[in-house]
Amino acid sequence: MIAVTGATGQLGQLVINALLKTVAASEIVALVRDPAKAQALSDKGVQVRRGDYNDKAALDRALQGVEKLLLISSSEVGQRTNQHRNVIEAANAAGVQLIAYTSLLHADTSPLGLAAEHVETEKLLADSGLAYTLLRNGWYSENYLASVPAALQHGLFIGSAGEGKIASATRADYAEAAARVLTLDDQAGRVYELAGDDAWTLRDLCASLSALSGKTVAYQNLSEADFAAALMGAGLPEGFAKLLADSDAGAAKGGLFDDGHQLSALIGRPTTPLAASLKAML
Per-residue 3-state assignment (H helix, E strand, C coil) for 53-100:
CCCHHHHHHHCCCCCEEEECCCCCCCCHHHHHHHHHHHHHHHCCCEEE
Global pTM value: 0.95
| Rounded distance between C-alpha atoms, residue 220 and residue 158, angstroms | 5
Q: How confident is the model at residue 99 (pLDDT cuts 50, 70, 90)?
A: very high
| Rounded distance between C-alpha atoms, residue 191 and residue 185, angstroms | 14
CB 165 within 8 A of CB 254: yes
Tell me which amino acid residue 265 is: A
CB 251 within 8 A of CB 161: yes
| Rounded distance between C-alpha atoms, residue 210 and residue 215, angstroms | 5
Question: pLDDT of 172-231, one tens digit each?
Answer: 999 999 999 999 999 999 999 999 999 999 999 999 999 999 999 999 999 999 999 999
Whether the pLDDT of residue 78 is over 90: the answer is no
Question: pLDDT of 232-279, one tens digit each?
Answer: 998 989 999 999 999 999 999 999 999 999 999 999 999 999 999 999
At 229 the pLDDT is 95
- The three-state secondary structure class of 193 is strand
CB 28 within 8 A of CB 1: yes
CA 107 and chain centroid, separation: 13
Whether the pLDDT of residue 77 is over 90: the answer is no
- H or E stretch at 136: strand 132-137
Question: pLDDT of 110-167, one tens digit each?
Answer: 999 999 999 999 999 999 999 999 999 999 999 999 899 999 999 999 999 999 999 9
At 166 the pLDDT is 97
* Torsion angle (degrees, nearest 10) of CA 159, 161, 166, 170: -30
Residues in the chain: 282
Q: How confident is the model at residue 170 (pLDDT cuts 50, 70, 90)?
A: very high
At 282 the pLDDT is 87
